[in-house]
Chain A
Amino acid sequence: MKTRNTFYDVVDKRFLLGLYRRINSVVKDVMRTRKGRFGLVTIVLVTAIAILAPVLAPYDPASQNLTARLTSPNTTYLLGTDSYGRDILSRIIYGFRISLLIGVVSVGVGVAIGTIMGTVSGYYGGWVDEIIGRLIDIMLAFPFLLLALIIVAVLGPSITNMMIAVGISAAPQFARLARGDALTASEKEFVTAADSIGRSHFSIIVEHIIPNIFTSVVVMATLYMGRAIIISAALSFLGLGVQPPTPSLGLILADGRDFIALAPWITIAPGLAIVLVVLGFNLLGDALNDALDPELQTGDKLQ
Chain B
Amino acid sequence: MSSTLLEVENLSKHFESGGGFLRGSTKTHAVNDVSLDVQEGEVVGVVGESGCGKSTLGKSILRLHEPSSGRVTFDSKDITNLDPKGLRDVRKDMQMIFQDSALSLNPRLKVSRIIDEPLREHSTMSREERRHKVSELLEEIGLKPEHSERYPHEFSGGQRQRIGIARALTLNPRLLIADEPMSGVDVSVQAQLIKLFNELQDEYNLTYLIITHDMNVVRYMTDRVVVMYLGEIVERGPTEEVFRDPKHPYTKALLSAIPTPGKESGDRILLDGAVPDPEDPPQGCSFHTRCPEKIGDICEQQDPAQFDVNGQHAKCHLYDEP
- Tell me the A residues contacting B by CB distance below 8 Å: 1-4, 9, 12, 188-190, 192-199, 203, 207-208, 211-212, 214, 294-295, 299-303
Contacts and interface: CB of A to CB of B under 8 A. Distances in A.
B124 interface: yes
A3 B124 CA distance: 6
A185 to B, nearest CB: 9
A193 B104 contact: yes
B220 interface: no
Given A294-B107, A303-B156, A198 B125 contact: no
Top 4 nearest A-B pairs (CB, nearest first) are A198-B88, A211-B108, A189-B103, A189-B104
20 contacts: A3-B126, A4-B120, A192-B59, A192-B98, A196-B91, A197-B117, A197-B118, A197-B121, A198-B118, A199-B121, A203-B121, A211-B109, A212-B106, A294-B108, A294-B151, A295-B151, A301-B156, A302-B147, A302-B150, A303-B156
Contacts of A194: 117
Which of B88, B95, B127, B151 has most A Cβ within 10 Å? Answer: B127
A39 B91 CA distance: 48
Nearest to B179: A189
B151 A3 contact: no
B159 interface: yes
A192 B99 CA distance: 12
Which of B62, B108, B147 has most A Cβ within 10 Å? Answer: B108
B153 interface: yes
Interface of B: 59, 62, 64, 87-89, 91-92, 95-96, 98-100, 103-109, 117-118, 120-122, 124-127, 147, 150-151, 153-156, 159, 164, 167
Given A294-B151, A294-B153, A302-B156, A192 B107 contact: no
Which of A1, A188, A193, A194 has most B Cβ within 10 Å? Answer: A193
A17 to B, nearest CB: 13
A198 B119 CA distance: 11
B106 A190 contact: yes
A192 B104 contact: yes
Contact of B155 (A196, A203, A302): A302
Given A3-B127, A196-B62, A302-B154, 12 more contacts: A3-B125, A9-B127, A12-B127, A192-B59, A193-B105, A196-B91, A196-B96, A197-B117, A197-B121, A198-B92, A203-B121, A212-B108
B108 A193 contact: no
Nearest to B151: A294
A190 B97 CA distance: 11
B154 A193 contact: no
Contacts of B106: 188, 190, 207-208, 211-212
Contacts of B59: 192
Nearest to B113: A207
Nearest to A6: B127
Contacts of B117: 194, 197, 199, 207
A188 B121 contact: no
Nearest to A300: B154
A193 B96 contact: yes
Contacts of B153: 294-295, 301
Contacts of A199: 117, 121
B188 to A, nearest CB: 14
A190 B156 contact: no
Contacts of B122: 197-198
A208 B108 CA distance: 8
B98 A189 contact: yes
Contacts of A188: 103, 106
Contacts of A2: 124
Nearest to A301: B154
A301 B160 CA distance: 12
